[in-house]
Structures are given as structure tokens and as C-alpha cells.
Amino acid sequence: MELQRIRLFLLIALFAIGMSLYSAWQQEHPPAETVVTTLPAKGESDIPSVQVVPNSAIMPIQQTTVIRQEIEVTTDVLKVKIDPLGGDIVRAELIKYPQTLDPLSSGVVFLDHSEMRNFVAQSGLIGKNELGPDSRTLGRALYEVVQTTYHLGDQSSLKVDLHWKNENGLQVIKSLIFKKGSYLIEVQYQITNATPSVWLGSFYGQIRREFVKEASSSFLMGVQMYQGGALYTPNKPFKKISFPDMQKAAYKEQIEGGWAALLERYFLCAFIPKTEAINHYYTRVDESNVYNIGETTAVEVAPHATGSIKGEFYIGPEAADVLKTISPGLNLTVDYGILWPISQVLFWLLKTINEFIGNWGWSIILVTLVIKILFYPLSSASYRSMGNMRRLQPRIELLKERHKEDKQQFSAALMELYRKEKLNPLGGCLPILIQIPVFIALYYVLLESVELRHAPFMFWIKDLSAKDPFYILPLIMGATMFLQQKMNPAPPDPMQAKVMMFMPVIFTALFLNFPSGLVLYWTANNILSMGQQWYIMRQMQQPKTALQKVK
């Protein structure tokens, strides 16, 4: 009875965890609704506040009249729009990542500045006394361009130059450099100082977006995939700064190197300064509910000289293999939660197998098989313990009948029976204990790994990261759970027996909206577990059968 109670408790605990994960799934796929966001308030500056030494020798900016037409850049992986006011990236479409499974679907629009969304990547220069090119009081520099449409074509790289100058002899060329097959955009400033004074200023790169808090789930211990800011620090390579954290207090820190990023599920935008100098990282929340994260770096250009400074924007998928080559710690933005060591191993194994067979669904099944093989010794001991428990079931029923009026006497007699038979009542619980962390870790892998987004399996399963559209796989999973339960000894307590009987139904209902990849793993795990249990039970019966033949 104690064993059955423990098994029941573990199943209930697993159900609770499943409900928590379902909560996360619901939060990741909220019902469609109209969301109204606010753009920067009139007169509010989106330029970071920095301190520079005043210099009266430089006169205020004199901006020329230029037609403000967005610049369109198309590469093999990106469609980008650049606003000549400031030279900011105000729209970025990821061509290789369609929004839906429809063959005609356009790519995911990650950055966008419109009536419904405000998410942009900015960079600029602030001169002494805020005198140029950008100024918190006078506004952003308005750049001139030779053309407004660029195509990478067969070239390996593409350079888009934006020009600005004032009447005092200060000239700036802002260049955005795109490379074939890359989501990394280099931003470079060439500063020509024709004045008789040293030009001192600050180069900044920042990411801005509005924040709309989603309705929280009411399911138990609801968890949610992280969405917010992140920074690299020497002590913590992946430091999260959530939107509520930004609202509570502004963050400021000086770091050599590093990066600043804003994360969403599957994708991120990160600014990586390319300088040996100390960079000043910050967060800021504007009154219009727009959140900023970025950095500034001091710049100095001698009189009658030319200087340069540059940084990089990564605007693309959270692909760990690519991110780790860009900057230390950037690959950690693929956030697998508290069980990330297990998740990373599972993903590595999944990816390695997929490189050979080319199907993520079969890779999940093979990973499940590998896990079962690795834990076979524990599973064998567990199933043997369950087999022995089944063998003792008649004797347990006799003890229950003998001590039906005294539960303490029954428990003592039961423990004595276990001791004489050298059985561990906890032995049959190991498979469930082993599955729980793997289950959670694989859940995060399926939800966070962009490689599994829109990954097909076979037949009707077109996307392993989405639910089964016909609910066939969850029903198969429920059937395997029911059959597996029939192979185990029934609980002696009628109430426990009824609860156990409804468990497959409850889990089937829970798994209806889970990612198909996760249901596939659970189904494969059940089938392999039944095979293991049948094989081990058959081995346990062979000596007895042989003895009967001799008789």
C-alpha cells in the first residue's frame, strides 16, 4: 500500500508539473486580441543622456532639408528598412523564418515601428554639449543617401552609406554593412573633424521596444518563457533585466566589451560594441511605456583629423552555435531555464542525431531510446521490484484482511514482509522520478530551440513545436499510458484504484494542447517502457516455468 501511495503521489506531482508547463504553453500562445501600444510622446527624446565636456567652439547643428524616405535593404536572409532620421533600423523581416506553415507566408517581422508596434535598433553620435550629430534637445541627425533601395544579389557584402554634415566642418558617414547569409549588421561611423578643436562625444547603440504585459495564467505554478532584456557582465555572462526590473530602477554599469539584448521567443536583437574601451551600459524607461537597453562609448577626434568607431547589431534567430562565435555569453540567450544543463545535452544529442537522419521527430524517438538504454539498470531493478510486488499481492491482501481494524498493525506487518522478502517499496518509483527532469528539460528544448520551430515529423504532424491539429497523438499517448497502467499491480485501496484509472484520461486532456514533439517523446517513452517491463517480467518468469517443466 505504501508503494501505491508513493506512486500515486508521484503521478499527482507529475500532473502538477504538467499543468505548470501547460500554463507556460498557454502564455506562449495567448488568444488573439487587439493590443494598443503607445509610441514616444511628442517632444520626448529617444537619445540616451550622456555627459560630455562643453566646448563653445562648436556651433549648433544646421540640418539641411532632405526628403525623409525609408531606405530598403534586401539580403538573402533579411529585409530591412532604415530611417534616414538617425539612420535607425526600424523594420527587419527574417526571410528564412516564415510566420506560418503556408508556403506563401512572409517572414517573421521582428523589428517594426508602426501604429501597433514600436521595436527598433538605434545607433548614433552625441557631440559635446549635445551639438551633433544627435542631440537630446535638437533631435536626430537627418542623413542623406545616394539611393533608397539596395539588393545584396550575388555580392558577399553590401554597404549602405548615410551622409551628414554641418556648417562648422563636422562630417559624418554612417555605414551599415550587410553580409551574405548573416544576421549580423555592422554599424560604422567615420567622423571627419575639420574644426580647430578636438571633437569629443559619445557613440551609442540601443534597442527600444514597447512593453505590454500579458495576462498571467491561473494554473498552479505558472512559468513563462523569458521575454525582456539581457546583458553580459564579467560575473554573470547572461544577466537578465526584465521589463519590471527596468521599471523599478535604471541599470548602469561599466564593462569592457559585452553586449546588450532584447529577447523574445526564438529571436533576439543584440548590440555588440566593437571597442577595447570601457562601455557604459544602461536601461531606461520612457514615459510612453517604451523600454530602452544599450550602451555608450566615448569618442575623440583630433582637430583636422578623421576617426572611426563601430559596433554590430544582431537581428535574428537564437541559434546557439552562431551566437557563441559573435560574443562571449551571447549563446546563453537560448534560455532553457533551471534545468539548462540537461536541456543542452538533450539538444546536442537531438541535433547530432538529426544531422544523420534529417528528421527531428525521429530524432526525438531515438533520443528517448538512448535515455532508456542509459537508465536500463535502474529501470530493470525498478521493474523487478514491481514484479516482486505483484507476486506478494495475495499476501498483502491477507495482511490487510487480518489487520483491517488496526492500520498501524497493518503497516508494521507490511514493512516486516518487505524486510523478509528484501524488497524496497520505493524501487518501483524510479522510472517516474527519472522522467520528471527529462520531461521538463525537453519541454524547454522544444519551446526555446528555434531549430525545432516549424519542424515536421510525418503524415499530419507538420510542426513539432505546435499542438497536434487533429489530437491523434495525444490519444495514442493516453492509450499507451492506459496499457502501461494495466501491466502494473492494482492499488489495494479502491479510492486509489479509481484515481489511477482516471490518470490516463487526465493526462490525455492535459497533453491535447502540448507541443507535438513533447507528446511524441512521452508516447515513445511509454511504448519503450512497456517493452522493457514485458522483457524483464518474462525473464523473471523463466526460472519458474523451467521448474514447472521438470516437475
**b/e for 381-397, b at 16 or more Cβ within 10 A?**
ebbbbbbbbbebeeebe
The SS3 assignment for 111 reads strand
CB atoms under 10 Å from CB of 266, counted, come to 23
Predicted pLDDT of residue 64: 40
CA 323, 327, 332, 333 dihedral sign is negative
Please report which residue ranges of 339-375 form alpha helices under DSSP H.
Answer: 340-357, 360-374
User: HSE-up of 18 (CA within 13 Å, CB side)?
Assistant: 22
The edge-to-edge listing of strands for the beta sheet with 239-241 is: 157-165, 170-179, 184-193, 305-317, 267-273, 260-264, 228-231, 239-241
- Cβ atoms of 160 and 169 within 8 Å: the answer is no
Report the distance separating Cα 297 and Cα 205, nearest Å.
Answer: 9
* Of 63, 52, 296, 99, nearest in space to 172 by CA: 63
Predicted pLDDT of residue 188: 96
pLDDT along the chain (551 residues), means of 10: 47 54 47 36 58 34 55 97 96 95 91 90 86 81 93 95 90 96 97 91 94 46 70 92 93 93 94 88 89 94 94 96 93 87 91 94 94 80 68 73 73 74 62 74 85 92 91 94 78 66 85 89 90 79 50 40
Q: Which three cell numbers stand for residue 424?
A: 524496497
CA 135, 136, 139, 141 dihedral sign is positive
Report the distance separating Cα 347 and Cα 361, nearest Å.
Answer: 13
**Partners of 306 in beta bridges:** 192
Predicted pLDDT of residue 13: 53
Predicted pLDDT of residue 42: 38
Predicted pLDDT of residue 506: 86
Q: What pTM does this model have?
A: 0.79
Report the distance separating Cα 529 and Cα 353, nearest Å.
Answer: 21
- Domains annotated for the chain, with CATH where assigned, are 68-211+228-334 (2.70.98.90), 343-542 (no CATH)
φ/ψ (deg, to 5) at 446: -70, -30
CA 358, 361, 363, 369 dihedral sign is negative
Predicted pLDDT of residue 20: 55
Report the distance separating Cα 57 and Cα 318, nearest Å.
Answer: 47
- Cβ atoms of 126 and 204 within 8 Å: the answer is yes
Report the distance separating Cα 318 and Cα 275, nearest Å.
Answer: 24
Report the distance separating Cα 21 and Cα 489, nearest Å.
Answer: 29
Report the distance separating Cα 392 and Cα 269, nearest Å.
Answer: 61
Q: Which three cell numbers stand for residue 116?
A: 501597433
* Of 239, 233, 242, 229, nearest in space to 269 by CA: 229
Taking CA atoms, 516 is separated from 151, 443, 550, in Å, by 39, 11, 51
- Cβ atoms of 430 and 378 within 8 Å: the answer is yes
Length of the chain in residues, anyone?
551
Query: Is residue 549 classed exposed, middle or buried when 0-12, 13-18 and 19+ CB atoms within 10 A define those classes?
Result: exposed
Q: Which three cell numbers stand for residue 440?
A: 521538463
